[in-house]
């Protein structure tokens, strides 16, 4: 009898595993920075309503376009609102909308991709051509159409963004499924007569989950940029709700003499995007999926 070869590798429960992955992510500087930034933004989004020094919608003609000072740390905008207050509040909608949007994208994109990869044949052909057709439509135009028809509420934005950003995930999930589909354990499950659903759930998802999650994390940062672009164009969050895209849009005409009103939201938005990107990369590495294209030697 073969004796127990591995004694060190103890069984870990899921929580410990997640903690282990976080630890691996934080062990490299880029991962640590990414995690810190994301964590900072999430915490800020949670507590900002309680720490905001001013009312975000209080218009005051007396304090229009003031430069940064001890009273107004980031200055004030053209309506006399405190830029610091609006900046720390400005990520809340974006974070919520894109977080749930990515979840929806992951769910439908991932499942459809896995399904297509598994069944193949004509169904796969048809679905993939439809996805290709959608990929060829400029998403921002389509989004504008949807938003102008249905309004800009979060109930519309979340599923709409989720739909448009899920198309790419379909391809990734399908490719990841193709990687495992030819393996004997799937053939074995088929020969035993398991249903497609059972094969997807038991055999495929555990093996493609990591690749799809990483892709989802990357999509999140893209979606954030997309959402801010919508706001910038005036189709995202409606005023007076503070939002980075909207703030940049409002202040861009004043950039030459009131730079503060535009810099703060830009820093907020780009730092969050960079943070998510770094985190996604570290996440991929911690899971053993190397996205960089380094030569093996």
Partner 1 sequence: MNEIIESVKNLSIGFNSQKGKQISILRNVSTNIKKGETVGIVGESGSGKSTLALAMMGYIKQGLFPLKGECLFKSKDLLKMSSRQLEKIRGRKIAMIPQNAGQALTPNLKIGYQIDEALKLHTDLNKTERDKKISELLNKVRLPSPETMAFRYPHELSGGQQQRVAVAMALAGKPDLLLLDEPTTGLDVTTQAHVLELLRFIAKDTGTSMIYVSHDLGAIAQVSDRIVVMYAGEIVLEGPARKILKEPIHPYTYGLLKSIPKLSLAGLPASMPGSQPQPGSINEGCSFYDRCNLATDNCKKNSPDLEHIKELDTNVRCFNYKELINQNNNLQTSITKKSNNSEANEVLKLKDVSISYAKQKFFDQLLNKISDQNPTVKDINIDIKKGETIALVGESGSGKSTILKSIAGLLKTKDGQIKFENDRILSSDLKMRNPNDLRAIQLIFQNPDESLNPNHTVEQILSQPLKLYFNLSGEELKKNIIDLLKKVRLGEFYMSRYPRQLSGGEKQRVAVARAFAAKPDIILCDEVTSALDVSVQAAVLNLLQQLKEDLGTTYVFVSHDLAVVRAISDRVAVLYQGRLCEIGPSQNVYKFPSHPYTEVLLGAVLEPDPDIKPKLVAEDIVEEKPPEKGCSFQGRCPRKIGDICNLEVPPWQIGENGNAIRCHINIDELASLQQ
Residue holding tokens 């004997």? 184
23 contributes a contact to partner 1 by CB under 8 A: no
CB 89 within 8 Å of CB 56: yes
15 contributes a contact to partner 1 by CB under 8 A: no
Distances (CA, A) of 272 to 60, 91, 128, 220: 30, 9, 32, 11
Minimum Å gap between C-beta 194 and partner 1 is 6
Nearer to partner 1, 3 or 293 (CB): 3
1 contributes a contact to partner 1 by CB under 8 A: yes
Minimum Å gap between C-beta 4 and partner 1 is 7
Among 15, 70, 141, 297, binds partner 1 (CB under 8 A): 297
138 contributes a contact to partner 1 by CB under 8 A: no
188 contributes a contact to partner 1 by CB under 8 A: yes
The span from the CA of 162 to the CA of 168, in Å, is: 11
Minimum Å gap between C-beta 199 and partner 1 is 10
CB 169 within 8 Å of CB 110: yes
Phi first, then psi, for residue 68 (nearest 5°) are -55, 135
User: Which residues are CB-neighbours of 284 under 8 A, at least 6 positions away?
Assistant: 214, 290, 291
Nearer to partner 1, 214 or 251 (CB): 214
Q: How many residues bind partner 1 (CB under 8 A)?
A: 25
13 contributes a contact to partner 1 by CB under 8 A: no
Nearer to partner 1, 3 or 256 (CB): 3
Distances (CA, A) of 234 to 79, 237, 269: 18, 7, 17
The span from the CA of 21 to the CA of 26, in Å, is: 9
Nearer to partner 1, 149 or 191 (CB): 191
CB 231 within 8 Å of CB 249: yes
Q: Which residues pair with 76 in a beta bridge?
A: 82
Structural element, H or E, at residue 168: helix 154-181
Q: Which stretch binds partner 1 (CB under 8 A): 85-93, 132-140, 201-209, 229-237?
A: 201-209
Minimum Å gap between C-beta 275 and partner 1 is 29
Q: Rule CB under 8 A: which residues touch partner 1?
A: 1-6, 9, 11, 183-185, 187-194, 198, 202-203, 206-207, 297
């Amino acid at each position: 009898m073969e004796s127990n070869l591995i004694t060190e590798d103890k069984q870990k429960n899921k929580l410990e595993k997640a903690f282990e992955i976080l630890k691996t992510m934080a062990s490299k500087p880029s991962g640590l920075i990414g995690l810190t930034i994301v964590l900072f933004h999430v915490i800020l989004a949670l507590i900002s309503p309680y720490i905001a020094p001013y009312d975000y919608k209080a218009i005051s003609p007396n304090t229009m376009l003031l430069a940064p000072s001890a009273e107004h740390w980031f200055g004030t905008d053209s309506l006399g609102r405190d830029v610091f207050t609006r900046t720390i509040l400005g990520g809340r909608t974006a974070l919520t909308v894109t977080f749930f949007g990515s979840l929806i994208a992951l769910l439908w994109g991932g499942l459809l991709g896995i399904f297509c990869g598994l069944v193949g044949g004509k169904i796969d052909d048809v679905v993939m051509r439809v996805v290709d057709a959608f990929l060829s439509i400029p998403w921002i135009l389509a989004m504008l159409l949807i938003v102008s028809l249905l309004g800009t509420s979060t109930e519309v934005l979340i599923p709409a963004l989720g739909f448009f950003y899920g198309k790419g995930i379909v391809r990734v999930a399908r490719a990841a499924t193709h990687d495992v589909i030819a393996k004997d354990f799937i053939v074995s499950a088929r020969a035993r007569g398991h249903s497609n659903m059972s094969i997807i759930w038991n055999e495929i998802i555990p093996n493609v989950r990591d690749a799809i999650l990483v892709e989802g994390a990357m999509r999140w940062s893209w979606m954030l940029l997309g959402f801010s672009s919508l706001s910038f164009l005036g189709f995202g969050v409606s005023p007076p709700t503070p939002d980075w895209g909207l703030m940049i849009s409002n202040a861009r005409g004043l950039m030459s003499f009131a730079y503060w009103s535009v810099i703060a939201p830009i820093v907020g938005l780009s730092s969050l995007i960079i943070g998510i990107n770094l985190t996604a990369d570290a996440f991929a590495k911690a899971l053993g999926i190397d996205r960089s294209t380094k030569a093996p030697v």
